[in-house]
Amino acid sequence: MNALFGGILALLQGFATTFGFFFQKKPTIAYPSIKKQHAPRFHGLHELRRYADGKERCIGCELCAIACPANAITVIGAENTPQDRRSPGERYAARYEIDELRCIFCGLCEEACPTDAIVLTPRFEMSDYRRGAFIYGKDRLLVPIEAGVGTAPDDRPNGIPADLGSVAAQKSTVDVEQGYGATWRGEILKTERKGLAG
């Protein structure tokens, strides 16, 4: 008899929880006119950064590809020449690809990068109809020249940028205005948001 009352009591407690949420306002948002505001540290679409003078930050060292647990990154480095200097130091990434379908957005590539070249942004909208569209090459990852920040360490080969670690420090906040400003795509998201939902 006690088992019967215990079962009924458990059912009533379960229904009380259900009915407690039944009459609350639903958390549904009118996407895409209202976009969810993610934390500044959200791991979304990648971007390859540049220096303010237009040089690429990536030096083709392949540390991001080595650190990637999903084997989603392909980097093929090439040598800089005096006539064609694409990055400070001796090398640059001739080919840089990320298979976003394989990526688990863990952020290890961002942590492994010695020049803060690859960063994860708060942008999460990447849907498409073809699998091949999710292989992001340098043409889609590299920020425009005018979005470059920091001074290139040209005075020494493979020098350490003066602003190394600034992206991680800027993203380590709960303030969306400050945290979104750490990346180019985050800055775009600040202007694209038509409304906030939590």
Q: Where are the domains of the chain?
A: 26-197
**Span 66-103, pLDDT tens digits:** 999 999 999 999 998 888 889 887 899 999 999 999 99
Confidence at residue 158, expressed as pLDDT on a 0 to 100 scale: 58
Task: Phi first, then psi: give them for residue 38, nearest 5 degrees.
Answer: -90, 165
pLDDT over 80 (residue 198): no
Confidence at residue 19, expressed as pLDDT on a 0 to 100 scale: 86
Confidence at residue 40, expressed as pLDDT on a 0 to 100 scale: 82
Coil, strand or helix at 56: strand
Least confident among 28-37, 49-58, 74-83, 87-96: 28-37
Which residue stretches of 60-152 are H helix?
63-67, 108-112, 138-141
Q: What is the pTM of this model?
A: 0.78
Confidence at residue 186, expressed as pLDDT on a 0 to 100 scale: 87
pLDDT confidence band for 36 (50 / 70 / 90): confident
- Contacts of 45 by beta carbon, 8 Å cutoff, 6+ apart: 100, 120, 121, 123, 124, 126, 136, 185
**Span 143-191, pLDDT tens digits:** 999 998 888 887 655 567 888 888 888 888 888 888 888 899 888 888 7
| In 55-102, beta strands by DSSP E | 73-79, 91-99
pLDDT over 70 (residue 194): no
pLDDT confidence band for 37 (50 / 70 / 90): confident
Q: What is the CATH number of domain 26-197?
A: 3.30.70.3270
Between these two residues, 33 and 164, which has the higher pLDDT value? 164
